[in-house]
Amino acid sequence: MLTCFAPDLTPAQTTYQLSEEESKHAVRVLRLAAGDAVALIDGRGGLYTAEIAEANPKRCQLRITHHETVAPRSYFTHVAVAPTKNLDRMEWFVEKAVEVGVERISFLRCARSERRELKLERLEKIAISALKQSGQAWLPQMDELQDFGAFVDGVAPETTFIAHLEEGERTALTQVAGAGPGCCVLIGPEGDFTPQEIALALAKGIRPVTLGASRLRTETAALAAVFTAQIVRA
Residue 234, pLDDT score:
64
- For residue 201, with 0-12 CB atoms within 10 Å meaning exposed, 13-18 middle and 19 or more buried, which class applies? buried
Q: What is the DSSP letter of 29?
A: I
Residue count of the chain: 234
Task: Answer whether residue 233 shows pLDDT above 80.
Answer: no
Q: Over 70: is that where the pLDDT of 175 sits?
A: yes
Q: Has residue 188 got a pLDDT over 90?
A: yes
pLDDT of residue 72: 93
Those residues with Cβ within 8 angstroms of residue 21's Cβ, 6 or more apart along the chain or in another chain = none
Q: Report how far apart, in Å, the C-alpha atoms of 19 and of each of 37, 65, 224, 227 are.
A: 17, 19, 35, 33
Q: 4: alpha, beta or left, given left = phi > 0 and alpha = psi -120 to 50? A: beta
Residue 4, beta-bridge partner list: 40
203 contact partners, CB below 8 Å, separation of at least 6:
none
SS3 call for 151? helix
Give the residue extent of every domain in the chain.
2-69, 76-233
Q: Residue 198: pLDDT band by 50, 70, 90 thresholds?
A: very high
Q: What is the pLDDT of residues 210-232, one digit of tens each?
A: 998 888 999 999 999 999 998 87
Sign of the dihedral through C-alpha 219, 216, 175, 184: negative
β-strand pairing of 2-5 with 61-69: unpaired
What's the average model confidence in pLDDT over 181-191? 95
pLDDT band at 63 (very low <50, low <70, confident <90, very high): very high
| Assigned CATH for 2-69 | 2.40.240.20
Q: pLDDT (tens digit, 9 = 90+) per residue, 13-27? A: 999 999 999 999 999
pLDDT at 89 over 70: yes
Contacts of 149 (CB under 8 A, 6+ apart): 197, 200
CA distance 164 to 202: 11
- The model's confidence at residue 189, banded by pLDDT at 50, 70 and 90, is very high
Please tell me what DSSP assigns to residue 10.
Answer: -
- Is CATH 3.40.1280.10 the classification given to domain 76-233? yes
Cα 143 from Cα 107, distance rounded (Å): 6
For the entire predicted model, the pTM comes to 0.93
pLDDT above 80: residue 157: yes
Q: Any residues with CB less than 8 A from the CB of 160 and at least 6 apart, and which?
A: 152, 183, 184, 185, 186, 206, 207
Residue 145 CB coordination number (10 Å)? 18
